[in-house]
Structure 1
Amino acid sequence: MNKKLTLISLRDYWRKISTHRSFWLFLVGLIIFPHFFLLLPYHEDAFVKAIAIALASCLALWILRAQNEGEKSHQEAISRLETINTVTTALTQSFDLEHTLDDILDEVLEVLGVEAGAVYLLNENEQGLTLVAHRNLPAEVVEETSGLRSARMLARHKDFKCKLAGPLRSKGSINGLLFGGSRTSCPILRQQKELLNTICNTTGVFVENVRLYQERARQLQTERCVCEVVEEVTSELELDKVLLKVTRIAVSLVEADGGLMALWDRERNVITYPYLHHLPPALTDVTVSKGKGLSGKVMTTGRPTVIDDYKTYPGAIPAFVQAGLASVMAVPIGSGERIFGALSVLSINKTRGFSDRDMAILTAIGRQAGIAIENSYLYENLRFYARRIMQAQEDERKRIARELHDDTIQSLIAFSRRLEVLTTSIGLLPTDAVQYISRLQGAVGDMIKRVRRFSQDLRPPILDDLGLLPTLEELTEELDRQDGLKAKFIVVGEERRLSSEIELTLFRIAQEALNNVRRHAQANSAVITVELSNSAVKMTIQDDGQGFEPPMSTEHPATSGKLGLVGMQERARLLGGTLVVDSAPGKGTKVIIKVPI
């Protein structure tokens, strides 16, 4: 062990002294002069020979030194290549920018032989630097919030006696800065500068590629989210669900702290804030007059607006200031030339900047929200007119049913009684005439039954007089009595009257469903169940018939061939309810209707 240490020490000492010119001159003299004095007395050409020997010795020593320097340069080149290979490998294994730069900084510090270092990146908006990785820096440099000031402090810091720095370049543009420093003096070699420059250029390309990848990923995410907004807008007509989700998506895409949506209340003529994300729920109670606040300004001008510091904004609403709003970006919500409100994203308790990309994203979402609101208004109008039409139909059915009951049926009954009087005059009429009158009387009786049933189908008086439950019970008994089905009626919950609109809608749906059971199901039994709760009423109609394959969609009734199902579903929708049909060939059919009370 001691022998090995001695050999290593001698080798290091040899490498150290062999780098000085004086050593080589001394070595040449040591070889030449003894030889010169030894040869001089014996030969007249001794001096020439000594010079030749000296030259040969110098040449040999020069060759030896060149070999040593070549070997040293070769080793240094291998070391540089290994460092570059390590850095390149690290750059190609991950798209995690900060983690990768942190690893690269360790490699750079090791190869440069310095203990402190830092990596600064130019912000994507090219405004200022950000310290993303550092080692052994002074506390004041690390704690400085401005990356640009931090880099200047580092460059001028007196603690560092040796400093190296290089820009992270890619395609002629600078993406950042790499710094290395030591608190002790150290020589800076040309090879170190070249190696640092190579690493900086490679890292600069990596930074640009990662940012391009991240930008593309953000674009794809934006496109997916905008498509999601479009899908929500086109597939959902319940405005509350759509707009709340739109607000959340907007906050996510812009990477904001929170968001809100302001809408114009047409009934109260004020601006309200019904949809909030990551904000106190109490803000939904805030109302302002037309044109007031940031949202009012955006709704009035129709132009997007960015407020860097909401506290200093003249139109700031105190409740929002107390909630901690800092930077706010707002865009109008509209469709065509109509503006319905404003969509805002914001930072809380800390200001931030919003890019042109953020503005473009929020503007696109604002347009989609405007389309959603316009569709909702159109849907509300459609529901209003549909209700009016159905009400007119029900009024007309009620009138016709009353006329059939009060006029047509009574006339038929009177006619039947006159025929009955004729049949009592047997002695005055021929036998054939009496038989004909009897058959006619039977036909009139059947006609009375059909008209009475038709009148009941149009509008049963029991529905207005006693309500939904007795009417459904009568329908069940009629199904059992007239069609031979084992029908059963079940009520769950406290029996009570509902609003006339709900009772009429549920009756019509039950009537249509039972007609389908009677005509198409080929069923042996049917069960009607009504479940009453404080918030909703649920009606289930189930049979054990042949079943069918329900249509995938009822959006196109003409092609689905299920107009009855479409009618039942539309009636349920008009009350804000749902209708589900569960059926399969050979498995019977179950119709479930749920309507809020």
Structure 2
Amino acid sequence: MKRWTIRTGLVVLLLAFGLSLLLLAGVEGLAAQGDAARNRAEAQYRAVLALGGLIALASGLALGRTPDRPLRQLMQAMDALASGDLSVRLPEQPGTALNELAAAFNRMAAALANENTRLQEEHQRRLDELALLHQATMALSQSLERERLAQALAGVLERLLPYDRAEVLLIHEATGELIPFLIRERHEGKSESVTPPLESIRQLGQGITGWVAEHNQPVRLGDVTQGTDLPYIAQRPGVRSILCVPLHIGKWAVGAIKLESAEPEVYDEHHERLLMALAGQLAVAIENARLFSEIGEQAAELAHRNLDLAALLNLSQSLTLTLEPEKLYEVVLHQAVAAIAPAAGGMLWLYAPQEEKLALVGVYGYHLTEDGGRRTPPNRLRRARLYSGEMTVGEAFAQGAPLRLTSPAEFAPYLKNARPETLQLWQVLGQVALNGVSPPDRFRGIKGIQARGQPSAPLYSQIVAPLTVKGSSIGCLNLDTFSEPAFSAADLALLQAMANQAAVAIENARLFAAIAESREQLRTLSAQIVQAQEEERRRLARELHDEIGQALTAITLDLGMLAQLIPKGDERLQRALEDAQTLSQNALEEVRRLSVELRPAILDDLGLVPALRWTLDRHMERTGVQGRLEVIGLEGRLPGEIETVCYRAVQEALTNVARHASARTIAVRLELELGGRTVHLTISDDGVGFDVRQALHRAQVGGSLGLLGLRERVELLGGHLDIRSRPGRGTTIEVRLPVSAQAAVGER
């Protein structure tokens, strides 16, 4: 009966051991889920062991047998094992009834210890992998540049997964092709990057990588040499194991990552899970790097555009500061060379209709190397001319389209239509290489053209932009460089924008020059007309005074003599002679008045100040308006044209006062200012005043021309006329006239 009890306890103990092994398997499955789940499983199998011991003890008691000392040892060992001491062992006693039970217990304890060691190693390996994944996540998330991202990925793959070759291919957004991002190969334990061959570029669906990227599903093959039903396999020679997973963000695939090994059955579900986790982190990092690159490109493009806009704004502001052609040429060339970095120098060409050629009007950034090694400014180049269609500049002008040449070889086609003289000049300048030609005489002695800061060499790159106004080319602007880098398309676009602004400014300067020339011609003509008018007035005044005046005086005297010869009783004839005498006297006075108004002799004989006093006195006699003349700083005579303008200004003012002002007083002030360089005439009255703007408008539409004529006279002498008046406030007229340096202020 005792043996049966022991055997029963042994069976129960073995059942508990089996259950504990099942629980240990669960522990292994839960190990990947974390320490908390693993601890719960270990507590469960320890409880089972303790339960087995209790069952064995209960079995002995149920059979009426009290456990002896060996059985108590067994129960103590079971308690120690249940508490986690996997090193406990029972002494075996061969030949005893409990020896079989002790041996079974020891085997169970050893198996548990081995399984626990394996679980701990597996747990540590998972922790290490999690740590590596965490490090990979940190490394990938901190890499926003493709090169650094590839380096970080290579390091992660090296530590995390086995492979002989690793490939990362990304889907190109524009073409849809799979472009290599990273290829690594391992030889003799060392891993290195491989330059992707041309055949590494694949289409979606082509090869394993293409299939995975297209279907967004992983592929794991243990041995590709054993055959497979998959039609998409196209492996390299020597490959046995393949693991390929997609790179995707959400539902959108962005590429694939593939591992290859020469050994079979290298990859399992665990490796697939690791690579999938890594692929998820890599896809996000690649997308972040792409966005970062796009933002960087956009920021660089924005910064470049801001610089271009700043250059255009600066040019626009500078062009508004002057209308002088030479200064415009200098501003355009200087700012174009400064704004477009590769440029070493530039030239500005304008079409000369008289010559039917393009004339070089501006050069910047160069100097000429002449005989003896002297360096001189390129002024002699200003004689250069080009026909439409000649060289690059002439071609751009003829076509009305910009040109960009990025290497010396591109200049050759533009030499075909050039005249020998043009080729000679360009050879002299070092821009083309010809043999057996001599430069024209006007360029003889020039050995070459050299840009500042660059060695003397043939042209390397050039951009040419036509100057266009209202659809017609008026010239060209070209920039040159004699070394790398070549001009870019963006450089040409900026030059064309600057050329457009320059064309408008140059055309405006041309129009302004034409208008200024017309105004100068008109000014000269007006001055001649005024001078002729004054001469004619002087002549008429003299003839009225000398011829008609004397004739009327003689008639008056003759009538007086006739009156003495008439008989005293003939009253009718007496009255007729008296009427004739009155008419003759009135006519004589009117002729004298007209003679004075046309050109008072006193102005020519005695000067401005006596003429003004005499005129004010006569005006006061006729109208009763009190007049006052104040002269400051003037002791002698002024130039004749100035005296005439001042006298006419006072004459016009007195006429207006008599006709419209109803004034009581009028004051005239004549002052020589600024050390005798300016005449300042002021005429003021206390009359009813008027609206100056309306009066000038009436004069412009054909009303009284007095004020306009006065303004024209003043401006012809470079002076300024200011009229201030308001209804009820009187009127003030100010005239300022410059006195030429050669005009003497003194008695003439």
- TM-score, normalising length: structure 2: 0.45
Q: 1:350 to 1:119 in 2, by over 3 A?
A: same
Secondary structure of the equivalent of 1:39? helix
- The CA distance in 1 between the partners of 2:476 and 2:704, in whole Å, is 42
Which letter does structure 2 place at the counterpart of 1:386?
Answer: L
2:593 equivalent among 446, 450, 459: 450
Which letter does structure 2 place at the counterpart of 1:288?
Answer: R
Name the structure 1 match of 2:720. Answer: 579
- Deviation of 1:382 (Å): 2.0
Secondary structure of the equivalent of 1:390? helix
Per-residue Cα deviation, 1:427-480 (whole angstroms, up to 9, x for no partner): 3245534542442243123222233124318xx7967xx9xxx75445533443
Q: 1:417 to 1:362 in 2, by over 3 A?
A: same
Worse-matched range after superposition: 299-308 or 310-319: 310-319
Name the structure 1 match of 2:264. Answer: none
Whether 2:552 is the aligned partner of 1:416: answer yes
Whether 2:693 is the aligned partner of 1:528: answer no
- Deviation of 1:404 (Å): 1.6
Per-residue Cα deviation, 1:247-268 (whole angstroms, up to 9, x for no partner): 7776788788987756689999
1:254 and 1:361 in contact (8 A); partners too: no
- Deviation of 1:513 (Å): 3.6
- The CA distance in 1 between the partners of 2:592 and 2:289, in whole Å, is 98
- Deviation of 1:379 (Å): 1.5
1:332 and 1:366 in contact (8 A); partners too: no
Name the structure 2 match of 1:588. Answer: 732
Which letter does structure 2 place at the counterpart of 1:528?
Answer: L
2:698 and 2:704 in contact (8 A); partners too: no
Per-residue Cα deviation, 1:155-214 (whole angstroms, up to 9, x for no partner): 9999x9679xx99x99979xxxxxxxxxxxxx9955653553454455456457657866
Name the structure 2 match of 1:353. Answer: 487
Name the structure 2 match of 1:379. Answer: 515
- The CA distance in 2 between the partners of 1:328 and 1:161, in whole Å, is 47
Which letter does structure 1 place at the counterpart of 2:599?
Answer: Q
Secondary structure of the equivalent of 2:670? strand
Worse-matched range after superposition: 25-34 or 582-591: 25-34
- The CA distance in 2 between the partners of 1:214 and 1:550, in whole Å, is 54
- The CA distance in 2 between the partners of 1:474 and 1:119, in whole Å, is 93
Which letter does structure 2 place at the counterpart of 1:31?
Answer: A
Name the structure 2 match of 1:390. Answer: 526
Aligned 1:501-580 pairs, distance under 5 A: 504=641, 506=642, 509-510=645-646, 513-520=649-656, 522=661, 524-531=666-673, 538-545=678-685, 551=693, 558=700, 577=718, 579=720
Name the structure 2 match of 1:321. Answer: 450
2:613 and 2:629 in contact (8 A); partners too: yes
Which letter does structure 1 place at the counterpart of 2:586?
Answer: A
Q: 1:526 to 1:221 in 2, by over 3 A?
A: farther
1:262 and 1:272 in contact (8 A); partners too: yes
Q: 1:378 to 1:202 in 2, by over 3 A?
A: same
Which letter does structure 2 place at the counterpart of 1:407?
Answer: E
- Deviation of 1:357 (Å): 2.4
- The CA distance in 2 between the partners of 1:223 and 1:490, in whole Å, is 54
- Deviation of 1:410 (Å): 2.2
Q: 1:346 to 1:20 in 2, by over 3 A?
A: same
2:608 and 2:637 in contact (8 A); partners too: no
- The CA distance in 1 between the partners of 2:536 and 2:41, in whole Å, is 138
Structure 1: stretches of 5+ with no match in the other structure: 1-17, 81-109, 121-150, 174-186, 498-502
Q: 1:596 to 1:171 in 2, by over 3 A?
A: farther
Secondary structure of the equivalent of 2:680? strand
2:671 and 2:679 in contact (8 A); partners too: yes
> RMSD value over aligned CA atoms?
6.8
Q: 1:208 to 1:29 in 2, by over 3 A?
A: closer
2:329 and 2:361 in contact (8 A); partners too: no
Aligned 1:204-215 pairs, distance under 5 A: 206-207=295-296
Which letter does structure 1 place at the counterpart of 2:732?
Answer: G
- TM-score, normalising length: structure 1: 0.53
Which structure is larger by alpha-carbon Rg, 1 or 2? Answer: 2
Worse-matched range after superposition: 187-196 or 443-452: 187-196
1:270 and 1:288 in contact (8 A); partners too: no
Name the structure 2 match of 1:428. Answer: 565
Name the structure 2 match of 1:126. Answer: none
- Deviation of 1:533 (Å): 7.5
- The CA distance in 1 between the partners of 2:391 and 2:636, in whole Å, is 53
Worse-matched range after superposition: 359-368 or 475-484: 475-484
| Count of residues in Structure 1 that have an aligned counterpart in Structure 2 | 470
Which letter does structure 1 place at the counterpart of 2:487?
Answer: G
Worse-matched range after superposition: 555-564 or 36-45: 555-564
Whether 2:425 is the aligned partner of 1:289: answer no
Q: 1:472 to 1:194 in 2, by over 3 A?
A: farther
1:420 and 1:441 in contact (8 A); partners too: no
Name the structure 2 match of 1:404. Answer: 540
